[in-house]
Amino acid sequence: MSGGERALTVFYRALLRLHPAEQRHRYGAQMTEDFLRAWRRAHGVPARVTVLAGELAALAWTGVAERLRGAWAGGWHGAWKQLRPASPRAILRAVLRRPGHAATLVGTLALGLGAWMAALVVLDAMVLGSQGRAEQGALVEIWTYLDEEQNNRPDVAAAALPVLRQASDLFLAVEGASNRRVVITEPGLPEQVQITRVTPGFFDLLGVRPARGPGFAGPEPDPGGVVISHRLWIQRFGRAPDVLGRTLVLGEARHTVVGVMPPGFAVPGFDEVAGAGLWAPVPLVEAGATVNVLARLRAGVSVDAAAEALDARTPELRAAGAFAEGTRPDLNEPVLFGVPEWAVTTTWILVAAATLILLVAATSTWALVVTRSLDRHQEWAVRRSLGAPRLRVMAESAAEGLFLGAAAGAAGAVVAAGLLRLLVLHAPAGARLATVGRTLALQGAEAVGAVLLGAGIVGVAAAAAAWAGSRGQPRFPGAVRGSTEGRGTRRLRAGLVAIQVALSFLLLAGGGLLANSLGRLARVETGYDAEALLVATLQPPGGSYGTTAEREALYDRVEDRLRNDPAVAGVAATENALPLTSGAFRPTLLLDDGGTLEMDDFLPYLEVTPGFFQVAGVRILEGRAFYQGDPVPHPAVVGEQMARRLWPDGRVLGRRFRVREAEPFRTVVGVAHDVVNINLRDPAGEGMEFFVPLDPVGQRQRTFVVRARGPAAGVALPVRRIMQEVDPELPFARFHTLADSFGDSVARERFATSLVSVLAAMGLLVTTLGLYGLLAHQVGSRTREIGIRMSLGAHSGHLVRGIVGSGLAITGVGVALGVLAAVQFFGILEVLLYGVEPGDPATLAAAAALFLAVAVAACLPPAVRAASVDPAAAMRSE
Amino acid sequence: MSGSPLSEPVFLILLMLAEGPRHGYAILQDVERWTEGRVVLRTATLYTALRRLVDDGRVAEIPDPDGDPRRRTYRITAAGRALVREETARLREVVGLADRLATGGRGG
């Protein structure tokens, strides 16, 4: 036989395995021989190809057909007899014979499925949902472009809305919204909240719907109707199920509740700040009013094409009164409504991490099923020798697997619902507001999907294990035998554990990087005594405090009372809250020597009372703070960075600058230590900022910076009490501690870190259990072998080393794979990292070390058990 | 198996054996020759059908006339001959029907 023929023979025999054993035994040799004859008889390449293809196809097809025919031997009835599920009670009994095993399996898979389902819901809400909406045309904003300045207005005249709607060749829908603050006077205590007034189709445009009630969509929308947020429903109405139709008094006006939005819902760009939203229909045309316009483009109309088309229609739009002379429409992709990039990245990281967890859980589940099947080989073999068809054995095992898997899926749905609830409560506002497409809750169909997926995973594993495991003959006492577990199975299980290690390592290393980065952010120097500062903003109602004098009198009384409170160490006032979030947008700084500095960024500045620097702990490094009746006109204190940028020669005091042509020159009287503006991660203004004296004229609100004698939270109650005592009619002041607001500014980092850390802990746990289970089972099934080796003089220390060594080898392979994958894929974490490289060797090494340590811990109990085997008892154990 | 029409390979195998006992490979070659290459049986098809025919008692295995113990020879049994007759009659009926309908019109 030539080499080629030998290869053909091997191939033919391999395919022959598709045939039932009986066929192979009786005719296999003859078939192979005749096949070779037919092959030899064919001459020429085409004939040989025909023979080969025909032979192999026939071999495969008849093999499969025979197997099916075997299963179908008794027709419908026979097939039913083989495949019919055992009674639910029998399945349950079989499953509960090993309650620990069943619980571990259900728990493991439920964690994996739950995490994964939750991640998919988030993905759908944040990423896929928005893409889905894009298919029906993009969401755009329409601004007013002012030709002269670059100060485009983010809104348009209310009168433009009906005109824009006529451009129905471009837009599917055009809706408007505007917001302002109102005071809820009933029910409950007065509280100032933000109300967003929207056109009736606004929610439809965003693709959202109230969780309760018709909202503004009904056939006859109630003009006095308001839709309330989930939070207001809880706080003001105690979750009353009959909230629809109840009365809400805003100021003096009575409104009817016509809807409750789902938890966590906020209209992007409008409701984030207020936190507690209220939505009311806005009268379309209000003289002089402006609205923010959102439009949905028709499918197939690109943003650029729409912008161009709209621009070309400027004359018509002006003629219709939509835009004033000299202005024109400016169509933009939404700035505020888009899902922020970091939220998209966090979502993908979440999905990746959850997929890893599911894979870890699924491989672990598979390993558990294989382990369990090893214990049942004898049972299956006995049953088969008593006449049960192999298919029947497999069907029974599959039924148990389906049952366990479905239970795991159901538990997973509960886990997913819980995780989503936690997400809604803890996700940073920027992430919540992006989820306008759908609410973060598991839907019924998704829960069913989880059950089916779980049933599928375990059912297939159990069927495969039973099919493979019911091949053998029953063993009889005294028969010669090796270990229960074949080498192939052992390798499979070791491979599964190594994969688990690699996947969990990725999670652990990712969590480590994020935690490392968060730690660095927490150590950023803010420039304030942030821990001691409470920032409270008071916005008095217009009625009793209509004039500047009335308001100043109120502020003085409040400040006086605050200063005399024993818990308060000092009080200063500012026109806006800390940290600095307001200032000049892309200013051109003009210097007294004729120099200019054009800034792309915005330059934060704040009006403060003279005591501010001392109260807030902002150190003056050079010169002095300004004071009451300062002889220098328009004094200013600049930050170090600004001083360096504007006057590199170092002579700063007495120099003058102004932010715009129209403003007076300000004279520098001092240089202050720099402070962090906006947030810890991306301080605005290229690190520059300055402070000027507070000018009370025309300001409708006042912020008090209160320095506490102890922790800042300690003055929260006194501040609230004092404001209520000064005037009981005052709405609640908004206040926060400065430390909290810096903490909030890294909320997204903290959120991503805690997400990944939780998943990493889950992965580590599941992997450790998997490793332990593998080794424990190996030791258990090798008891006899170990006994023999010990009776032949093997040292127990040697045995322990051997078992721990094999555990470490598996872990080592897994960690190596994990490191490779980390180096390859961790680039996606970059957006969330601060001061740490994605491939940070120290973090990867620490994760690897932790894994190896855990591996040793998981190996030790089985190893110790092996070492304490009594040789005599082990020999008798059969 | 009786009652329902035989598949073509099975019928051809029985026909070849009805002519006289043969080795498996000889059946392959004869089928190809008698059908002038129209039907080429594959080994898997042949031996799957043979196993079933043997199990049903239509075909019997006999020792090799040349005395080679590894090679098996097949001969048709009385039940097998009955099946061939039955199938032939069925086919004749079908062919007659086709002749009448195709050439003589309705009712012949």
A186 inside domain: yes
**Is B70 close to A29, i.e. CB distance below 8 A?**
yes
Report the gap between the CA of B25 and the closest CA in chain A (Å). Answer: 6
Domain boundary residue, one of A310, A332, A354: A332
B3 inside domain: no
A479 inside domain: no
Q: Cα separation of A852 and A28, whole Å? A: 50
Report the gap between the CA of A59 and the closest CA in chain B (Å). Answer: 5
**Is A62 close to B28, i.e. CB distance below 8 A?**
no
**pLDDT beyond 90 at B11:** yes
- The DSSP output letter for A389 is -
Q: Same structural domain for residues A845 and A783?
A: yes
Q: Cα separation of B28 and A38, whole Å? A: 9
Identify all chain B residues contacting A55, using CB atoms and an 8 Å cutoff.
Answer: 42-44
**Is B51 close to A23, i.e. CB distance below 8 A?**
yes
Q: Same structural domain for residues A100 and A217?
A: no
Instruction: Collect contacts of A421-429 with beta carbons under 8 A, ≥24 apart.
Output: A423/A118, A423/A122, A424/A263, A424/A264, A426/A751, A426/A754, A427/A264, A427/A751, A428/A744, A428/A747, A428/A748, A428/A751, A429/A266, A429/A272, A429/A275, A429/A747
pLDDT at A754: 76
> pLDDT, tens digit, for every residue of A411-421?
999 999 988 88
Q: Same structural domain for residues A669 and A818?
A: no
* Optimal mutation site among B32, B42, B53, B73, interface A, most CBs of chain A within 10 A: B42
**Is B51 close to A22, i.e. CB distance below 8 A?**
yes
Structural domain boundaries, residue A425: 88-133+342-474
Task: Tokens for A283, please give them.
Answer: 């009268």
Give just the sign of the alpha carbon dihedral A346, A349, A355, A360.
negative
Q: Same structural domain for residues A703 and A757?
A: no
A178 - beta bridge partners?
A: A197
Least confident of A138-152, A513-527, A538-552: A138-152
Ramachandran bin of A275, using left for φ above 0, alpha for ψ from -120 to 50, beta for the remaining angles: left
By C-alpha distance, the chain B residue nearest A22 is: B51
Domain count, chain B: 1
Identify all chain A residues contacting B44, using CB atoms and an 8 Å cutoff.
Answer: 19, 31, 55, 58-59, 61-63
pTM of the predicted model as reported, rounded to 2 decimal places: 0.56
By C-alpha distance, the chain A residue nearest B51 is: A23
Q: Same structural domain for residues A185 and A221?
A: yes
B1 inside domain: no
Task: Give the residue numbers in B contacting A (CB under 8 Å), as ranges.
Answer: 24-25, 28, 40, 42-48, 50-51, 70-72
Average the pLDDT over A55-78 and give the result: 78
Identify all chain A residues contacting B42, using CB atoms and an 8 Å cutoff.
Answer: 38, 54-55, 57-59
Average the pLDDT over A581-591 and give the result: 77
B95 inside domain: yes
Q: Same structural domain for residues A381 and A290?
A: no
Identify all chain A residues contacting B59, using CB atoms and an 8 Å cutoff.
Answer: none
Report the gap between the CA of A51 and the closest CA in chain B (Å). Answer: 8
**Is B43 close to A19, i.e. CB distance below 8 A?**
no
Q: Quote ipTM for the complex.
A: 0.86
A410 contacts A113 by C-beta, under 8 angstroms: no
**pLDDT beyond 70 at A682:** no
Of A27, A35, A59, the CB nearest to B51: A27
Report the gap between the CA of A391 and the closest CA in chain B (Å). Answer: 21
Q: Same structural domain for residues A784 and A725?
A: no
Residue A467: CA count within 13 A, CB half-sphere:
9
**Is A54 close to B51, i.e. CB distance below 8 A?**
no
Q: Same structural domain for residues A48 and A118?
A: no
A140 contacts A334 by C-beta, under 8 angstroms: yes
Average the pLDDT over A712-727 and give the result: 82
Q: Same structural domain for residues A438 and A347?
A: yes
A482 inside domain: no
Three-class secondary structure assignment of A581-645: CCEECCCEEEECCCCEEECCCCEEEEEECCCHHHHHCCCEEEECCCCCCCCCCCEEEEEHHHHHH
User: What average pLDDT is seen over chain A?
Assistant: 80
Domain boundary residue, one of A741, A764, A783: A741
Identify all chain A residues contacting B71, using CB atoms and an 8 Å cutoff.
Answer: 30
* Residue that wins the pLDDT comparison between A624 and A74: A624
Q: Same structural domain for residues A781 and A833?
A: yes
Domain count, chain A: 5
Structural domain boundaries, residue B40: 8-104
**Is B47 close to A30, i.e. CB distance below 8 A?**
yes
A463 contacts A783 by C-beta, under 8 angstroms: no
Q: Same structural domain for residues A366 and A307?
A: no
**pLDDT beyond 90 at B54:** yes
Average the pLDDT over A305-334 and give the result: 81
